[in-house]
């Protein structure tokens, strides 16, 4: 089998890339390890930057997003018994975020691809890739390609297809994780609340008018099964308590623990292989950047391939890694900053005082709040 672009992985990166190539008349085959059902129900991110929404609209996969997505023009930071609103849109040139689950983005992209026809092969695990020859070895045989897009996430096989000594890896593991729940209850507040508390971080988020997504900082090795529903609600109540406000509770539909890591592998290209999204980089979820970075990489690669197939040379393909990494490192810094400002890092009272001072500064200085807002909605200068 032969194609122009072989895409490994049907997550947000691979599906977005496939859609952009399809619209430009470039052939691709997407190979995905899991079933459609599994991929469509893997609950992860839910905050879309303005640039991600704009791209999905251009790619004509945003009809449902435009109906069901919830536009937020602010977030709240809570600490020391106070809750402060950061007016994102006012501070960041009218740019805002949209709440729309990653599951829904993936469903829309899969539906669009299956309707229009280019191959999307589920339950087809890729075993290895040859970046020099442009060959993908998968369970059903070999796929020869001009270009391989490694969109197979952090645990995929594409990154390890790059010969030893080529990649430099930068990594930070955090000594805590997030216990996340999806609860069948209307959100208790209409925008996200990031909470700093002596017992640890908590985040109040949502997926729809009927579904709330809440998180509490926990040990990274804990099992979600060790937490009873009552214990989770109690912890959320304590950490987010505020005079005159009440956290509404409901049935917990799903719970899980996610570890927190910063990771970047440089460069993001070797031979005919281009790494896209989590295959090349991971951010802790505090800045809501993972999904947005994956989509931005896909756009950068699609634009470079459109140029190349259009006979306009390979300058953009050559600069793919450099261009992506500039945005990736900005997101790494922002996510690291949000993570270390909001989580309980230790029992060190000095450190906690510094965090509180930083939070007070961000919520009282327009310049500091603007910096947070610009990064949170996505910097246009990094587009």
**Residue 206: burial class (beta carbons within 10 Å; 0-12, 13-18, 19+):** buried
If binding is defined by CB under 6 A, does position 289 make contact with ligand FAD? yes
One residue of 6, 12, 150, 378 binding ligand FAD per CB under 6 A: 12
Angle at 197 (CA atoms; ends 262, 329), nearest 5 degrees: 20
Residue 366 phi/psi, 5-degree rounding, is -65, -40
How many Å apart are CA 95 and CA 54, to the nearest integer? 11
Q: Are 328 and 280 in contact (CB under 8 A)?
A: yes
CB closer to ligand FAD out of 72 and 289: 289
If binding is defined by CB under 6 A, does position 216 make contact with ligand FAD? no
DSSP structure string for 341-359: HHS---S-HHHHHHHHHHH
x/- binding map, residues 33-72, to ligand FAD, per CB under 6 A? xx----x----xx---------------------------
Candidates 194, 214, 274, 320; catalytic one: 194
One residue of 151, 260, 338, 377 binding ligand FAD per CB under 6 A: 151
One residue of 5, 7, 10, 218 binding ligand FAD per CB under 6 A: 10
If binding is defined by CB under 6 A, does position 338 make contact with ligand FAD? no
Q: How far is the CB of 256 from ligand FAD (least distance, A)?
A: 6
Q: How many CA atoms lie within 13 A of 299 on its CB side?
A: 20
Give the binding range for ligand FAD (CB under 6 A) out of 163-171, 228-236, 285-293, 303-311.
Answer: 285-293
DSSP structure string for 227-246: S-HHHHHHHHHHHH-BTTB-
DSSP structure string for 122-174: SS--EEEEETTTTEEEETTEEEEEEEEEE---TTSSSGGGSPTTS-EEEEEEE
Q: Are 286 and 262 in contact (CB under 8 A)?
A: no
Candidates 289, 320, 323, 343; catalytic one: 289
CB closer to ligand FAD out of 86 and 331: 331
Respond yes or no: is residue 336 known to be catalytic: no
Respond yes or no: is residue 220 known to be catalytic: no
Respond yes or no: is residue 361 known to be catalytic: no
One residue of 69, 74, 284, 290 binding ligand FAD per CB under 6 A: 290
Site residues, ligand FAD (CB under 6 A): 8-14, 31-34, 39, 44-45, 102, 125-126, 151-153, 156-157, 258, 277-278, 285, 288-291, 294
> Among all residues, which ones are annotated catalytic?
72, 194, 285, 289, 376
């Amino acid at each position: 089998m032969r194609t122009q672009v072989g895409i490994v992985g049907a997550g947000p990166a691979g599906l977005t890339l496939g859609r952009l190539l399809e619209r430009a008349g470039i052939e691709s085959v997407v190979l995905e390890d899991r079933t459609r059902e599994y991929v469509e129900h893997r609950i992860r991110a839910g905050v879309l930057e303005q640039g991600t929404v704009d791209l999905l609209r251009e790619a004509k996969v945003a009809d449902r997003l435009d109906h069901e997505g919830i536009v937020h023009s602010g977030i709240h930071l809570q600490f020391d018994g106070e809750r402060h609103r950061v007016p994102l849109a006012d501070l960041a040139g009218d740019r805002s975020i949209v709440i729309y689950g990653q599951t829904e983005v993936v469903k829309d992209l899969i539906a669009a691809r299956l309707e229009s026809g280019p191959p999307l092969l589920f339950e087809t695990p890729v075993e290895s890739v040859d970046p020099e020859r442009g060959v993908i070895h998968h369970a059903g045989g070999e796929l020869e390609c001009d270009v391989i897009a490694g969109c197979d996430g952090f645990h995929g096989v594409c990154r390890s297809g790059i010969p030893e000594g080529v990649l430099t890896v930068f990594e930070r593991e955090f000594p805590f994780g997030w216990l996340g729940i999806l609860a069948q209850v209307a959100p208790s507040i209409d925008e996200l609340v990031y909470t700093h508390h002596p017992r640890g971080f908590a985040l109040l988020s949502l997926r729809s008018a009927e579904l709330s997504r809440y998180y509490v900082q926990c040990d990274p090795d804990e099992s979600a099964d060790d937490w009873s529903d009552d214990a989770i609600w109690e912890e959320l109540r304590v950490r987010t308590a505020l005079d005159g406000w009440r956290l509404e509770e409901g049935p917990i539909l799903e719970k899980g623990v996610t570890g927190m890591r910063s990771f970047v592998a440089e460069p993001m290209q070797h031979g005919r292989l281009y790494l896209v999204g989590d295959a090349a980089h991971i951010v802790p979820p505090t800045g809501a950047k993972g999904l947005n970075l994956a989509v931005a990489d896909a756009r950068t690669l699609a634009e470079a391939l459109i140029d190349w197939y259009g006979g306009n040379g390979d300058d953009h393909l050559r600069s793919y890694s450099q261009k992506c990494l500039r945005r990736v490192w900005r997101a790494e810094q922002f996510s690291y900053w949000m993570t270390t400002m909001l989580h309980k890092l230790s029992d060190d009272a000095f450190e906690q005082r510094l965090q509180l001072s930083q939070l007070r500064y961000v919520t009282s200085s327009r310049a500091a709040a603007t910096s947070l807002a610009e990064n949170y909605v996505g910097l246009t200068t990094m587009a």
